[in-house]
Amino acid sequence: MAILYACSLIWICKWISERLQEKDRFYYMADILFLLSMSVFPFLGVCCFMNYGLFLAGCALLVFTLLQCKHEVLAGIVFSLIMIKPQIGIPLLIPLFINRNYKTIAVAGAICIMETLFAAWKLDKSPVELILQIPQIGAPFLRKDFFGRIAAGIFGAPGSYVSMGLFLAIASAGSFFVRNAKDIWVRFLPAIAIIPFWVYSQFHDWIILLPCYFYIVKSREKYPVLYDLSFCLLFLWGVFTFCNLVEWYLIGKQGIASALHLAIVAIGCFMAISDTNEKWNMSLLNIKKRRARSP
């Protein structure tokens, strides 16, 4: 695990360094501070608890790079590793489907099926029984989920599934809007953004949100107001989280910190949607021109 973590951390640093090209040293340091601040809890979490979050973040960035280079089979092999945590892997299947990366999905699916069949054979259990154990393992964490508890209060027992379905629908809509993004990883931003909120992902899984944070940093010159707003939200998030004015897991408590964090990643997705949906922007521009010409 230590070796996997080291490799993942090196890849994350390499991936970010290739995309951070700032001439102004002050803003460069501010951007680094933003990325460190938003990821310090996840980094501490994975180091203290030996959670897979950092390893999966490295795998996700590697998948994006492989897809950008059109290595779909290799991307499928790496993506099968992300399915170690289905709550992280399942939302990322949405942009793969939308962008027609069927070969990647097929390779990842085949590997996961073989792993399940092998494990079922070794343990002398039904493959279906093994798969059904996954949500049972996550049940204690699901009870701590803030959004699931709100939905349960409104819809009763099926509330957690309603909450999960809502976030997956949001991810699907967002992934559709950014499907034409030039950079492959931008097409995954809406799906990445909902991962810590759609099911029982804990704070140490939030390291997967690094691409969202980076997109905010990258869009500083194009969306200065949204960039500054992100820093204000980051300051409030830091006050609530690091000064222990609210704890992480419960709301009054988890809710305020989660809402601030969700607002920051939503800003990143809004930037991506506005940036990549050129046809929509052009249609709005044409409507304005027609209105200006009409008497």
- Name the H helices within the chain: 2-19, 25-49, 53-68, 72-82, 86-98, 102-123, 127-142, 146-155, 159-177, 189-198, 210-218, 224-242, 254-276, 278-293
Instruction: Name which of 86, 77, 88, 85 is nearest 114 in CA terms.
Output: 77
pLDDT at residue number 131: 76
CA 101, CA 211: separation in Å to the nearest integer? 20
Model pLDDT for residues 164-173, shown as the tens digit of each residue: 788 889 999 9
* pLDDT digit string (tens) for the chain, length 295 residues: 788 888 888 998 889 888 887 667 777 888 888 888 888 877 777 777 777 888 899 999 999 999 999 999 999 999 999 998 888 899 999 999 999 999 999 999 999 999 888 888 888 888 887 777 776 666 666 555 556 666 666 666 666 777 778 888 999 999 998 888 888 999 999 999 888 878 776 777 788 899 999 999 988 888 999 999 999 998 888 777 766 655 544 445 556 777 888 899 899 999 988 888 665 555 555 655 666 666 5
- What's the token pair of residue 130? 């093994």
Instruction: Name which of 280, 279, 269, 105 is nearest 192 in CA terms.
Output: 269
CA 222, CA 288: separation in Å to the nearest integer? 22
Angle subtended by helix axes 254-276 and 159-177, to nearest 10: 30
pLDDT at residue number 290: 62
Angle subtended by helix axes 2-19 and 53-68, to nearest 10: 50
pLDDT at residue number 5: 84
pLDDT at residue number 4: 84
Burial of 290 (0-12, 13-18, 19+ CB in 10 A): exposed
Instruction: Name which of 64, 66, 11, 89 is nearest 181 in CA terms.
Output: 64
Model pLDDT for residues 100-138, shown as the tens digit of each residue: 999 999 999 999 999 888 888 888 888 887 777 776 666
